[in-house]
Amino acid sequence: MLRRLGRRRSRSAGCSYREIARTPHRRSTRCGCNGEQVMDAKVAEEEGGSSSSALLRLKSRFTPRTRLALMFGFPALAIIALVVMMLTGGRHEETENAYVQAARVPVSTSVPGRIVQMRVHDNDTVRAGQVLFVLDQANPRADVAQFEAALASARARVASLQAEYRAQSAGVRAREEALSFARAELARARQLGAEGIAARQDVEAARHGEEQALAELSGARQSLAAALAGLGGSANLDVEEHPSVREVVARLERARLALSYTEVIALQDGVVTRVDQVQVGTFVNAGQTLFWLIAGAPWVEANFKENQIAHMRAGQRATIRIDSFGGRSFEARVASFSPGTGAVFSPLPAQNATGNWVKVVQRVPVRLSFVDPPPDLIFRAGLSAHARVDTHSDPDSLRGR
């Protein structure tokens, strides 16, 4: 009896979902349900209706024509993609291990000295022949003045030797004439002595005069030879061609070069960097690197794996993307290959003759040259790049481009 009473009460206290669905717009006082139960019924009905309408719309979209297109379209696209992969597979080799490079020219001096002027600053653009800095010129100028005076003295000395040679030559001619006269006197004295007209003493005096003239001629000839040797063995030698003059001229030219080296100039067009570490008053030695000049056309050094360069050749087409330019692509060509891997030329090369050897894929630096780079863009050294080489392009047909 108690169970039956409980069932009756539960039936009278609550209403079923079916009853609520039948009377959605009015509240049932018969079953005694509250407003929350009615709202739950409404939500359930709306959800069921929306799902069924969505299913109908989806079925209306997939018409027989659409289903046929999907049935044959996806396999066709897959076949096309497979053919493209077969035709282009292995054609392009690419790497992210690529960086922009530029020639770095060390700026140094040929003579030691103290810097008195700085004509450039860090990151300045310079032209070939532009003065970068100036060294103290006091000592080089003094050397130039000293050798200029030495050159004038050497020229005067050579001129004096030439005058002496001319005088010695005239003396030799005079001694030759005196010898000829003495010999003629000796012959006349002998003839007169044979005829008994001249005394024997006259003949002896004539013989002595002939011997004295011969001795004087010999001495004059020796003096002439000495004067000729002083002129370098040539009587007609120009003053500027004399060895002593040429020696002083060479020293003077060296002093003038040292003076010109005090103005250090740029040998190429480019951009100077690390200039701020050199200041006025710094004493520098000859050959000491002071800062750098970034010059010449930039290129890209792409470090490809050793198993990627089998079909690469110089002259093949390449594409370069620079990260700093938003991935913009630039046309390039394969210029050259390094004769060794990067590990070979490292300061501490790997020692492979050890017991714990592990094979590591090596990388070979490949130089890529830009083809007509935009003049408004600056390819700074060290920028990251992405390099891609078309190994199926003909190097011979692209070499002249």
CATH superfamily of 93-102+296-398: Efflux pump adaptor protein, beta barrel domain (2.40.30.170)
| Averaged pLDDT for residues 42-50 | 48
| Averaged pLDDT for residues 302-331 | 93
Q: What is the pLDDT of residue 53?
A: 66
**140-258: CATH class:** mainly alpha
Q: What is the pLDDT of residue 100?
A: 96
Confidence of residue 344 (pLDDT cuts 50, 70, 90): confident
Helix (H) / strand (E) element for 42: namely helix 35-61
Q: How many CA atoms lie within 13 A of 263 on its CB side?
A: 9
Q: What is the pLDDT of residue 130?
A: 96
pLDDT at 20 over 50: no
Q: Which two tokens stand for residue 248?
A: 């002083």
Q: What is the pLDDT of residue 263?
A: 96
Return d(Cα 137, Cα 341) in angstroms, integer: 48
Domain boundaries of the chain, sorted by first residue: 2-61, 93-102+296-398, 109-136+262-284, 140-258
Q: What is the pLDDT of residue 38?
A: 42
Least confident of 12-26, 39-53, 303-317, 348-362: 12-26
In terms of C-beta density within 10 A (0-12 exposed, 13-18 middle, 19 or more buried), how is residue 326 classed?
A: exposed
Q: Number of helices (H) and strands (E), helices first, in the chain?
A: 8, 12
Beta strands in 274-358 (DSSP E): 283-284, 291-305, 317-322, 328-337
**What ranges in 64-137 are assigned the alpha helix state H?**
64-88
Architecture of domain 109-136+262-284: Beta Barrel (2.40)
| Averaged pLDDT for residues 221-244 | 81
Q: Which two tokens stand for residue 368?
A: 């890529």
375-401 residue pLDDT tens: 888 899 999 999 999 998 877 655 544
Give the amino acid at 351. Answer: Q
Nearest-5° angle of CA 142, CA 146, CA 148?
115
Same fold flag, 109-136+262-284 and 140-258: no
Q: What is the pLDDT of residue 2?
A: 37
pLDDT at 26 over 80: no
Asked whether the whole model's pTM tops 0.75, one would answer no
DSSP state of 352: -
**Mean residue pLDDT across the chain:** 81
Residue 321: partners with Cβ closer than 8 Å, 6 or more residues away: 327, 328, 329, 330, 385, 386, 388
Q: What is the pLDDT of residue 3?
A: 41
